[in-house]
Structure 1
Amino acid sequence: MLPLGRNKVPGWIKQDEGPGAAHRPCVCHLWTRRMQKEIQNGCRAAPDPGSRLVTFCFVLLQESPPEVFIEGIFQPSYKSGKLHVLENLLESIDAPLESWGEYLLAACQHLQKKNYYHILYELQQFMKDQVRAAMTCIRFFSHKAKTYTELGEKLSWLLKARDHLKIYLQETSRSSKKKKTPFFRKKMTTADVSRHMNTLQLQMEVTRFLHRCESAGTSQTTTLPLPTLFGNNHMKMDVACKVMLGGKNVEDGFGIAFRVLQDFQLDAAATYCRAARQLVEQGKYSEIRQLLKCVSESGMAAKSDGDTILLNCLEAFKRIPPQELEGLIQAIHNDDNKVRAYLTCCKLRSAYLIAVKQEHSRATLLVQQVQQAATSSGDAVVQDICAQWLLTSHARGALGSGSRK
């Protein structure tokens, strides 16, 4: 067995008595044709990989552009279903495949452009490129899926992806003590591999949950592409929303959704608001209150998150029944936010009644906001009420200031 490479050309090839440089393209072409024939015949009479002629022809091939290898040898091999024969031949000449790295990577790119992902996956396994093989498995899992029922039937691909990453961790642990990983295999830090394995595990939990929900008829249909945790942050937020809304109630899926938000450090408040708006559209007002309860009990919510969620819901106040609307406003804790909520819903008198109960300086600002809203909407009655209160309040303030002197 002779390890070949551009820096490992045998000395006899460079000598004058060896085959002349002028004949190299011709010999390389003849050898390419010979390899094609041997591969087609299943290499029943493959030449001895250690012979001088075979070594010379492979060196010539390796000094040619990758396209020569792809068009002359690789394409005919996989098109005739004899890729395994070529793999065996390459391995017999150079078991670590270092000499073939550039050509194998070019072959992978060729298959990707052609969308021949099953052949690509076979080649990646031959190359022992565990990270890229895991990525291909993830593509097999999510590509063109329209429902989580479909994804539930393809969970085995995520298991295979996880296995590839486990093997990669084992191999890198061994190779770090002995030798470096071949350049043509994709490298990844241990921390990144662990993070990807956590994503795979969480995606499996999400898939099983939503598969069960779709089977039970509780999960709503979604727009395509189907959101998974392998997309961008916006898509991950879609997954969290889908899980929160997919079960028989919000609490059913909140735990998994919360882990998605935590693991990927997503904007939790924005995600809760998005989920709440969808609940408004579905008319599930009791579920909004349950969402608020879950958020409050999560232990990670800001004090204002509940009010933020409710104020966001109230932007769609025109579609909310009056009784439900009042219930949502009353669930707001901060009085300033409550005034804002009443103003959003054009309930100016209710906003005024909350405003005047506040501490004097704060009440003045809030009443001015109510007065401005009344002016904009043409509500003369509330305008007059606010003006009268502000006048009286100013007089009381002036009187108080004078008595202190």
Structure 2
Amino acid sequence: MDKFNEYWELLSDKSIHIGKELIAYYKTLHENEDGSPLSEQGCHFLLQNLLVNPYPTCQLLRLLATSKIPLKNSTIREICDEGMLDFLESFEREDVDKFYNLIANNLLSSGAINQAVPIVLRMLEENVIDRELLLLALVSRKSQKLLKHFLKKIETTQEQRYLLAAVEDKRHFMVDVLNSSEELFTDKAVSDYVRVVCHSCSKKKLEIPELYENVPVRACEDCVRQSQTTFSAPAKASNVLANLQNLDEWQLTGNVRNDNIIREEYSYEYAPSTSQCLAICNLHSQNEELSNFLLYHCAKLETLLRPIRTGYPNPELDYALVSRMLLNLTLAAKVRGLEFTEADKMKEHAEIILSIVKNDCESLLLQESMSSANLRKLRDALVLAEKWSLALELSLKCGFSTSGVMAAWGTTCLRAGCYETARDKFSYCLQKLSTDADNSTILNCIESPETKLANYKTAIPIKRPAKSPPLLLEIISILESTAQAQPPEVVARASMIKNSNTSLSSSIRKKTKDNIPLHEPALNILNTLSNLKHITKGNYTDFLPEKRALRSKDTSLSSSGNSSDYLQTLDCIMSTRYFEESMYYLLTYGAHQDVTNFLIKHRQILPAMKYVLMQQVDPEVMLQTIILPYLKTGRLETVIQVMSSMDETLLTWRAYIIYSCRYLETNRMLNCLYNLQLLLGDPIRASMTCVRFYSMDAKNFTDLEANTFHLKNSAAHLQSELESCNWEEISVESLGVRGGETHKSLLMKMEPKELNNHINTILRQLEVAKFLANCEAHGKDVVGLLPKLFIEYHKIPTLFGTVHEKLQLAVLILVCGKNIEEGFGLSYRVIQDFNLNSMRVYSLTAKYFIGESQVEEVDRLLQAIVSNSAATVDTNSFCDELIKNAVETAISIHGSSSHVKSSLEGLIKRISEVGLKIHCYIITGQLKTAYLYANKHGRIGDIRKILRQSEVLNQVHVKRLCESKLAAEGGGLRK
């Protein structure tokens, strides 16, 4: 109870009620479970004090957790676990002292430890807590579970040395900790905490009784010196230091534990030594058994070479020595009959490790085994560290592609300004499409100010892929952001460095006969260093000459309204290193599209057009890279000007122009197409485009009337072409030469007569649209009549469409007017202008009127036909055929009722031809009238028809008349 009272007094916010409860609980710790359980208030009190005042609360909990009843102890441990985890979640820097007390004195379960350790390790990495204070706290309170966890996680040896020094008086505890856990004596743990010291590093040995009893083990000179200063008595130090002259150093004593330690620590004086190892093995084992033994130890050495953690090599390991040992043992195993595949694989790994060690890259070694995937990771790590030669060597040894290494090497050189070196590196990872001679020819041509075709069409077209490799686009992007104009002083300094490197390399080569690689001066870095004054003032670009030139050029171009300004060559960009290098890579490795894109991006329209013709670039490429970009910015005139300057006839560009026009038409970019046709001077095609504007998106004839100005423009284009043709005829007569030959293959041409016909068609369409729009204005649903009149109806008909559309218009004009006379003249002119079938037009009109029960309109139609033509036999027969069609239509639609017969009577009387009149009387069922008319004109054949029809209609009286007439004629009743 004394300890309980002592810790209780140290608590804050003590409660008499809680104190009595805890005393009662403490006194009944070992009683059965029914005695004095801990209430929720008590648990809450302990949990709260655990966070506020951890040390006395932890000590109280330790006392309360000594019960022989497991259930009671588990209750206390739950409080400890919950308090610890809550504290870690709400941890702040000012609570660091409480943290050391809480983690050192707390009773944590295994589950809570597993949750707490990662949090604490993260706090260590963030330097929130101190490692040495943490270990000191754990050791001083004998927190064995937590200590073992942290010894496994903390992978440096400084803590171990500090730990041993801090617990000098508690070494028995450390020995118990290390001996109680077999996990700590695994190969990994030993490699973490036992320092391997070779003979060349130290000849001193040291006795550590707590770990190795009286067996001396080799130690570094620093450890021996520290041990001498630590021990107070010189005599004790002399007992600790082993006598190296003692020849009986490895003699067995008979003590089993001591003898086991001697066997484990036994080593030759000059160990490690692979030659001594192999010599002993040759005396001991056969080749097969020996090779397996060597392979096993090669694997152990390879494991030993792994870093403590990623990026942190073991500072106590001589990587060069161990890697040489590994290589020697691998070669020895291969000589002694090891399977070639396994031996070569291990030898390859040993050579890779040795190369990495020789280049001081131990920190890049992987923690995993050297599988193919991990070797790729190692290669990538070497690339990131810019160990190019080593990464290349690794790729070659492992059979990996070297393109990635070369690409990374080249991009790094490019950013630094080592342009020649970059070209060399990229040549290994990109496929060359042209030679330097081809590039020179192309550049000389496109950079020449000459525009005439014959002067530059000398380069051989080069077949290129549709798309450039992604690496090439990255190269261009790097050049755009890093390539700089080099001031004269920077160029002079680079030249001096290059000459110095060359002379130094030649002198070394004479002495050693070794080929020393030359390093190109990094121009970008030299340039940046020379402009530090500008950079310190925050001016990163204006001191570059080509930037200032481009900026001033852009300003002048944007302020100028003349499109011809864009034809001026930007000499400032073409003379820069950026342009030179970019064109080299584009011409050597790129697609046509990227070459033209680059030139157009920098407003090199003339060189781009030259390149298109020289290399016979596909029309789609020119469309996407030149035509459409200039079209979007309203500068298409510039492109046409360049074309004309290179070939006045434009015949050279025929395929490109036709392809562009087809693309614009297919994609309904009619405004752009119209603009292009005007720029090309092609009025006939421009007129046709205006016609498409006229009918586009029109839903009725009122819309067509609103689009009249398009037709007027179309007529104006045709009229200008007609006048041009008249001038050409004059030139033919006066000069005796044929005009218009220059554009005969590119621009559309028509004869004057054909042009006149098209102009007349436009004028007639204007007249038709005006008439029908006026009908719509008076409430007539003109468009709604089309489905009633015609089965085939898709759009609003115009005179520019098919013959069927023209016929539709002729019929609409007749049926939409206030009367027949209003539209007959216009319809008649349409029929005459386009040679339409007048019978079909008038029959469809009569059919519509018959369907609408407007027989009188048919009669007016007949009167109009007669009045607009001479009274000839052809006119009479035409009208007779029209009446016949009208009568047949009326009977098929309305039947042969008395009302229908009476309404058709007037039309039938207008028939002049006897046979047709009799036929109409027969189909209307007026058989008696038909008989009388046939009898009057003696038409026996028609009487027979009437007889058959009377039998069908069961008109007995007419039948008798027919039979008697036929009998009287002596013809009998012939069928």
TM-score (norm 2): 0.36
Query: Among 920, 925, 931, which residue is 1:346 paired with?
Result: 925
Alignment of 1:295 with 2:865, yes or no, is yes
Long gaps (5+) in structure 1: 397-405
State the alpha-carbon separation in 2 of the partners of residues 181 and 103 from structure 1. Answer: 18
Superposed CA RMSD in Å reads 2.9
Query: Among 720, 741, 760, which residue is 1:198 paired with?
Result: 760
- The amino acid of 1:75's aligned partner reads L
- The amino acid of 2:611's aligned partner reads C
- The amino acid of 2:968's aligned partner reads T
**Secondary structure of the corresponding residue to residue 307 of structure 1:** helix
State the alpha-carbon separation in 1 of the partners of residues 832 and 588 from structure 2. Answer: 61
State the alpha-carbon separation in 2 of the partners of residues 333 and 57 from structure 1. Answer: 79
Query: Among 885, 888, 897, which residue is 1:315 paired with?
Result: 888
State the alpha-carbon separation in 2 of the partners of residues 60 and 29 from structure 1. Answer: 14
Shift of 1:91: 4.1
- The amino acid of 1:369's aligned partner reads K
Quote the residue 2:639 is aligned against: 86
Equivalent positions of 1:77-116 (< 5 A) are 77-116=630-669
- Matched-pair contact (CA < 8 Å) for 1:3–1:99: no
**Secondary structure of the corresponding residue to residue 118 of structure 1:** helix
Equivalent positions of 1:68-147 (< 5 A) are 68-147=621-700
State the alpha-carbon separation in 2 of the partners of residues 164 and 64 from structure 1. Answer: 33
Quote the residue 1:399 is aligned against: none
Shift of 1:25: 8.3
State the alpha-carbon separation in 1 of the partners of residues 829 and 811 from structure 2. Answer: 12
Alignment of 1:60 with 2:639, yes or no, is no
State the alpha-carbon separation in 1 of the partners of residues 673 and 457 from structure 2. Answer: 36
- Matched-pair contact (CA < 8 Å) for 1:332–1:338: yes
Query: Among 371, 374, 378, which residue is 2:947 paired with?
Result: 371
- The range that moved more, 97-106 or 295-304, is 295-304
- The amino acid of 2:930's aligned partner reads A
Shift of 1:263: 1.0
- Matched-pair contact (CA < 8 Å) for 1:102–1:184: no
Query: Among 597, 600, 617, which residue is 1:36 paired with?
Result: 600
Quote the residue 1:355 is aligned against: 934
Question: Does the C-alpha gap of structure 1 residues 56 and 204 become closer, same or farther in structure 2, counting only changes over 3 Å?
Answer: closer
- The range that moved more, 186-195 or 313-322, is 313-322
**Secondary structure of the corresponding residue to residue 304 of structure 1:** helix
State the alpha-carbon separation in 2 of the partners of residues 250 and 324 from structure 1. Answer: 19
Shift of 1:93: 4.1
CA deviation map 1:294-349 (0-9, x unaligned) = 10122266321111111111113342734312222222222221111111212222
Quote the residue 2:851 is aligned against: 281
Alignment of 1:249 with 2:813, yes or no, is no
Shift of 1:126: 1.2
Quote the residue 2:960 is aligned against: 384
- The amino acid of 1:168's aligned partner reads E
Long gaps (5+) in structure 2: 1-449, 461-582, 732-738, 787-793
Question: Does the C-alpha gap of structure 1 residues 54 and 136 become closer, same or farther in structure 2, counting only changes over 3 Å?
Answer: closer
- Matched-pair contact (CA < 8 Å) for 1:13–1:56: no
State the alpha-carbon separation in 1 of the partners of residues 865 and 960 from structure 2. Answer: 41
State the alpha-carbon separation in 2 of the partners of residues 395 and 160 from structure 1. Answer: 73
Query: Among 762, 777, 791, which residue is 1:215 paired with?
Result: 777
Equivalent positions of 1:387-402 (< 5 A) are 387-394=963-970
State the alpha-carbon separation in 1 of the partners of residues 593 and 914 from structure 2. Answer: 84
- The amino acid of 2:909's aligned partner reads Q
Shift of 1:204: 0.9
- Matched-pair contact (CA < 8 Å) for 2:931–2:943: yes
Alignment of 1:2 with 2:451, yes or no, is yes
- The amino acid of 1:2's aligned partner reads T
- Matched-pair contact (CA < 8 Å) for 1:2–1:93: yes
Question: Does the C-alpha gap of structure 1 residues 24 and 369 become closer, same or farther in structure 2, counting only changes over 3 Å?
Answer: farther
Question: Does the C-alpha gap of structure 1 residues 288 and 181 become closer, same or farther in structure 2, counting only changes over 3 Å?
Answer: farther
State the alpha-carbon separation in 1 of the partners of residues 635 and 959 from structure 2. Answer: 86
Query: Among 234, 239, 264, which residue is 2:804 paired with?
Result: 234
Shift of 1:76: 3.0
Question: Does the C-alpha gap of structure 1 residues 24 and 255 become closer, same or farther in structure 2, counting only changes over 3 Å?
Answer: farther
Shift of 1:26: 4.8
- The amino acid of 2:945's aligned partner reads Q
Alignment of 1:270 with 2:832, yes or no, is no
- The amino acid of 1:66's aligned partner reads P
State the alpha-carbon separation in 1 of the partners of residues 644 and 591 from structure 2. Answer: 22
Query: Among 180, 185, 190, which residue is 2:741 paired with?
Result: 180
- Matched-pair contact (CA < 8 Å) for 1:141–1:151: yes
Question: Does the C-alpha gap of structure 1 residues 188 and 93 become closer, same or farther in structure 2, counting only changes over 3 Å?
Answer: same
- The amino acid of 2:724's aligned partner reads E
Shift of 1:58: 4.3
Query: Among 687, 707, 720, which residue is 1:167 paired with?
Result: 720
State the alpha-carbon separation in 2 of the partners of residues 11 and 270 from structure 1. Answer: 61
Matched positions, count: 374
CA deviation map 1:27-46 (0-9, x unaligned) = 955651244314xxxx5xx5
State, as a whole percentage, how many aligned pairs show the same letter.
27
Shift of 1:270: 1.7
Which entry has the higher C-alpha Rg, 1 or 2? Answer: 2
Quote the residue 2:905 is aligned against: 326
Structure with more contact order per residue of length (Cα contacts < 8 Å, sep ≥ 6): 1
Shift of 1:59: 2.8
Shift of 1:249: 0.5
CA deviation map 1:190-241 (0-9, x unaligned) = 2211111111111111111111121122464333422211122222111111
- Matched-pair contact (CA < 8 Å) for 1:273–1:309: yes
Question: Does the C-alpha gap of structure 1 residues 339 and 114 become closer, same or farther in structure 2, counting only changes over 3 Å?
Answer: same
Question: Does the C-alpha gap of structure 1 residues 366 and 159 become closer, same or farther in structure 2, counting only changes over 3 Å?
Answer: same
- Matched-pair contact (CA < 8 Å) for 1:375–1:383: yes
Shift of 1:87: 3.6
**Secondary structure of the corresponding residue to residue 217 of structure 1:** coil
- The amino acid of 1:349's aligned partner reads K
